[in-house]
């Protein structure tokens, strides 16, 4: 010792330890520390109390230490204790310290022997202690009692391993001398994480309780199960001493006397006993901290750097700056516009190969779905024949007609034209639905701003709905216009002469799929496949309505409603 800088090391680590404890140990730093492990009643708590020179740890039969206790010993003139969980309160009465440990343990574990890995942080200031930080851990046990879960043995093991498997942790393995060293729980678990015995310090308690004629000399001379840091023997107070309130000072004196007078240990007396153990631990922890400090520092520095970067980014971000907010908002809305246009108008970049875009779907509606809807329109042939014949007969009235009257043609054609309204409206509905789906997909990007997303969707959808009703009105109006006046002079109107000329060309088309849709309402020619083997071709032209069974269609009369076909209508 004697090196001022070195003496500051342990308090420095203590500060870090407190900081980590109060933020819930979320930090991945491994602080150098000493963990005390051993079987139940091995004497762990007794060793710690002897360091402090005070009775302050809960005692009793069974499992008493049920949460890890991080015990920071700080050399100071005044003698008192404080807990991290009630900072500012100075405990000068060490009986109260014990009560507080008990109360704090129960607070997390319940009063019936449960355990918890959340540590209690206790700091003891005293002129009798050397700077030292130790962690008192629950003793290893085999049988569950009270509220303990059946797997208590493994739970405790896990908790111990959490602490001692870190390379930065020194292990104080406490083993009672009156049991076989080979069976020591402490040494067994230490060996698992430190097989070469590099960071394990052996402590042999209860040397005074060994059977007469036996001793632990081989162990203490580090011959039996050698550890690099060796073994230190101690004699704590027996239960009788504690019950009789034997004071620790007297106990330490008795311990010293024990080693000096025992024939097997006399030669080792200077390297035995509690004061020597405390001194050794202080030195070893200090050295250990010094060794692990460079790695700790570089880890801390890299964490600091990344934290600083985060803070910087946050500073620059200035989320409350209104100018920034507006800009971000505008950018997002613009992006929405661009995305929407791309989906409807199509684009070369980032072509989706998994599904159709909004625009492509709308195209499909116009060129596949709409014709299909038209084709699907049902015509009852018998009904139609009767309607046509009635129309003709009603127009002629009492007279028998010579020619098919125009008015009959109009009445029948108009009735058929009106049927176009429904598929047209359906087509509009489908397109609207597709537009709204596209809007939804484009607003997905705004998901992190739910209000903005909702508002954007609302505005755009409302607009689309407005256009929807206008479009429907417009399309209905168009059909109504066509219904109100059939212009037989229009260039698209197929008269007898024209029809005859074109019959050959269209005849070829007939071999193609089942619908031909031409410009202008009055030249809409619809051929209907009524499924199955019975195919009817129904031809609606400006001049007449004709229908044929597939095989009956005479090629020459295809576009020429001959008197025969008209007669056929009137015949029915």
Binding mask 238-257 for ligand GDP (x = CB under 6 A): xx--x---------------
> Least distance from C-beta 44 to Mg ion, angstroms?
5
235 is in the binding site of which of ligand GDP, Mg ion, none (Cβ under 5 to 8 A by kind)? ligand GDP
> Least distance from C-beta 58 to Mg ion, angstroms?
8
Residue 517 C-beta-side C-alpha neighbours within 13 Å = 11
Is 141 a binding residue for Mg ion by CB under 5 A? The answer is no
Query: Is 33 or 566 the residue whose CB approaches Mg ion more closely?
Result: 33
Is 52 in contact with 188 (CB distance < 8 Å)? no
72 vs 121: CA distance, rounded Å = 8
Tokens found for residue 204 = 């042999």
205 is in the binding site of which of ligand GDP, Mg ion, none (Cβ under 5 to 8 A by kind)? ligand GDP
Helix (H, G, I), strand (E, B) or coil at 229: coil
Give the range of 83-91, 183-191, 235-243, 495-503 binding ligand GDP by CB under 6 A. Answer: 235-243
Query: Is 236 or 357 the residue whose CB approaches Mg ion more closely?
Result: 236
- Among 236, 357, 443, 570, indicate the residue that binds ligand GDP (CB under 6 A): 236
Give the range of 184-192, 232-240, 244-252, 285-293 binding ligand GDP by CB under 6 A. Answer: 232-240
Query: Is 238 or 292 the residue whose CB approaches ligand GDP more closely?
Result: 238
Tokens found for residue 441 = 């997909």
Is 35 in contact with 163 (CB distance < 8 Å)? yes
Residues in the chain: 572
Strand locations in 475-567, DSSP E? 536-540, 545-549
Of 190, 203, 192, 200, which Cα lies nearest the Cα of 228? 200
Give the range of 80-88, 201-209, 299-307, 487-495 binding ligand GDP by CB under 6 A. Answer: 201-209
> Least distance from C-beta 36 to ligand GDP, angstroms?
8
Is 233 a binding residue for ligand GDP by CB under 6 A? The answer is no
β-pairing, 200-205 vs 231-233, is parallel
54 is in the binding site of which of ligand GDP, Mg ion, none (Cβ under 5 to 8 A by kind)? none
Is 205 in contact with 175 (CB distance < 8 Å)? yes
565 is in the binding site of which of ligand GDP, Mg ion, none (Cβ under 5 to 8 A by kind)? none
> Least distance from C-beta 197 to ligand GDP, angstroms?
21
> Least distance from C-beta 98 to Mg ion, angstroms?
12
Which uninterrupted H or E stretch holds 268? Answer: none
> Least distance from C-beta 51 to ligand GDP, angstroms?
12
Query: Is 176 or 423 the residue whose CB approaches ligand GDP more closely?
Result: 176
3-state helix, strand, coil in the chain (%, to 5): 55, 10, 35
> Least distance from C-beta 54 to ligand GDP, angstroms?
14
Tokens found for residue 276 = 């020597």
Of 516, 288, 59, which Cα lies nearest the Cα of 296? 288
Helix axes 381-396, 563-571, angle to 10 degrees: 100
Of 438, 463, 455, which Cα lies nearest the Cα of 333? 455
Which uninterrupted H or E stretch holds 36? Answer: strand 33-38
Report how far apart the first and last C-alpha atoms of the chain are (Å, whole number): 125
288 is in the binding site of which of ligand GDP, Mg ion, none (Cβ under 5 to 8 A by kind)? none
> Least distance from C-beta 45 to ligand GDP, angstroms?
3
- Among 45, 50, 175, 205, indicate the residue that binds Mg ion (CB under 5 A): 45
What residues numbered 24-83 form the site for ligand GDP, per CB under 6 A?
Answer: 38, 40-46, 59
What residues numbered 387-426 form the site for ligand GDP, per CB under 6 A?
Answer: none
Is 448 in contact with 329 (CB distance < 8 Å)? no
Query: Is 242 or 475 the residue whose CB approaches ligand GDP more closely?
Result: 242
Going by C-beta distance under 8 Å and a sequence separation of 6 or more, which residues neighbour residue 510? 527, 537, 553, 558
Tokens found for residue 95 = 């009986």
Cα-to-chain-centroid distance, residue 258: 62
Query: Is 33 or 443 the residue whose CB approaches Mg ion more closely?
Result: 33
Helix (H, G, I), strand (E, B) or coil at 37: strand
> Least distance from C-beta 204 to ligand GDP, angstroms?
9
Token pair 């219904």 is at which residue?
483
How many residues sit close enough to ligand GDP to count as binding (CB under 6 A)?
20
Is 174 in contact with 42 (CB distance < 8 Å)? yes
83 vs 100: CA distance, rounded Å = 9
* Rg value, the chain, Cα: 49
145 vs 147: CA distance, rounded Å = 6
155 is in the binding site of which of ligand GDP, Mg ion, none (Cβ under 5 to 8 A by kind)? none
Give the range of 19-27, 124-132, 202-210, 376-384 binding ligand GDP by CB under 6 A. Answer: 202-210
Give the range of 233-241, 446-454, 512-520, 537-545 binding ligand GDP by CB under 6 A. Answer: 233-241
- Among 97, 135, 140, 235, indicate the residue that binds ligand GDP (CB under 6 A): 235
Instruction: Please list, residue by residue across 440-470, b when 16 or more beta carbons sit within 10 angstroms of its beta carbon and e when fewer do.
Output: eebbeebeeeeebbeebbeebbeebeeebee
> Least distance from C-beta 142 to Mg ion, angstroms?
16
239 is in the binding site of which of ligand GDP, Mg ion, none (Cβ under 5 to 8 A by kind)? ligand GDP
Is 262 a binding residue for ligand GDP by CB under 6 A? The answer is no
Q: Is the dihedral of CA 32, 33, 34, 37 positive or negative?
A: negative
- Among 33, 65, 541, 544, indicate the residue that binds Mg ion (CB under 5 A): 65
Query: Is 46 or 566 the residue whose CB approaches ligand GDP more closely?
Result: 46
208 is in the binding site of which of ligand GDP, Mg ion, none (Cβ under 5 to 8 A by kind)? ligand GDP
Residues that bind ligand GDP in the complex, under the rule CB under 6 A: 38, 40-46, 59, 139, 205-206, 208-209, 235-239, 242
Residues that bind Mg ion in the complex, under the rule CB under 5 A: 44-45, 65
């Amino acid at each position: 010792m004697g090196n001022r800088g070195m003496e500051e090391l342990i308090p420095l680590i203590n500060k870090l330890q407190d900081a980590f404890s109060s933020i819930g140990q979320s930090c991945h730093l491994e602080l150098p520390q000493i963990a005390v492990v051993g079987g139940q009643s091995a004497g762990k708590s007794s060793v710690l109390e002897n360091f402090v020179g005070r009775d302050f740890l809960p005692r009793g039969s069974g499992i008493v230490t049920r949460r890890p206790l991080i015990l920071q010993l700080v050399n100071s003139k005044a003698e008192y204790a404080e807990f991290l969980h009630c900072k500012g309160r100075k405990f000068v009465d060490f009986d109260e310290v014990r009560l507080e440990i008990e109360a704090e343990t129960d607070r997390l574990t319940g009063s019936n022997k449960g355990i918890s890995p959340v540590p209690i942080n206790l700091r003891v200031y005293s002129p009798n202690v050397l700077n030292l930080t130790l962690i008192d851990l629950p003793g290893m046990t085999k049988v569950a009692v009270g509220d303990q879960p059946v797997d208590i043995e493994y739970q405790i093991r896990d908790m111990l391993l959490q602490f001692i498997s870190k390379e930065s942790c020194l292990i104080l393995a406490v083993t009672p001398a009156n049991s076989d060293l080979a069976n020591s729980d402490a040494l067994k678990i230490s060996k698992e994480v430190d097989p070469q015995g590099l960071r394990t310090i052996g402590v042999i308690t209860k040397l005074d309780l060994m059977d007469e004629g036996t001793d632990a000399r081989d162990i203490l001379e580090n011959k039996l199960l050698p550890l690099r840091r060796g073994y230190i023997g101690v004699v704590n107070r027996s239960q009788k001493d504690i019950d009789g309130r034997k004071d620790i000072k007297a106990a330490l004196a008795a311990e010293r006397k024990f080693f000096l007078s025992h024939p097997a240990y006399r030669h080792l007396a200077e390297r035995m006993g509690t004061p020597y153990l405390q001194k050794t631990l202080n030195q070893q922890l200090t050295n250990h901290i010094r060794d692990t400090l460079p790695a700790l520092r570089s880890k801390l520095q890299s964490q600091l750097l990344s934290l600083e970067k985060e803070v910087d980014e946050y500073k620059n971000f200035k989320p409350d700056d209104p100018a920034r907010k507006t800009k971000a908002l505008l950018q997002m809305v613009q992006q929405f516009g661009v995305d929407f246009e791309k989906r409807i108008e199509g684009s070369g970049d980032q072509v989706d190969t998994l599904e159709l875009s909004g625009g492509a779907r709308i195209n499909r509606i116009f060129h596949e779905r709409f014709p299909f809807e038209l084709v699907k329109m049902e015509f009852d042939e018998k009904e139609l024949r009767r309607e046509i014949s009635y129309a003709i007969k009603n127009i002629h009235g009492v007279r028998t007609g010579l020619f098919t009257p125009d008015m009959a043609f109009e009445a029948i054609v108009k009735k058929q034209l009106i049927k176009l309204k429904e598929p047209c409206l359906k087509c509009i509905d489908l397109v609207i639905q597709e537009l709204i789906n596209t809007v939804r997909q484009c607003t997905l990007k705004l998901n992190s701003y739910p209000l903005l997303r909702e508002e954007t969707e609302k505005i755009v959808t409302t607009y689309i709905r407005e256009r929807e009703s206008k479009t429907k009105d417009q399309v209905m109006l168009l059909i109504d216009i066509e219904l109100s006046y059939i212009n037989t002079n229009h260039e698209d109107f197929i008269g007898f002469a024209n029809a005859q000329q074109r019959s050959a060309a269209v005849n070829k088309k007939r071999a193609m799929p089942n619908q031909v849709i031409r410009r202008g309402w009055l030249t809409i020619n619809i051929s209907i496949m009524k499924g199955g083997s019975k195919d009817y071709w129904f031809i609606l032209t400006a001049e007449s309505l004709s229908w044929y069974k597939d095989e009956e269609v005479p090629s020459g009369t295809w576009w020429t409603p001959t008197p025969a076909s008209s007669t056929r209508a009137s015949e029915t």
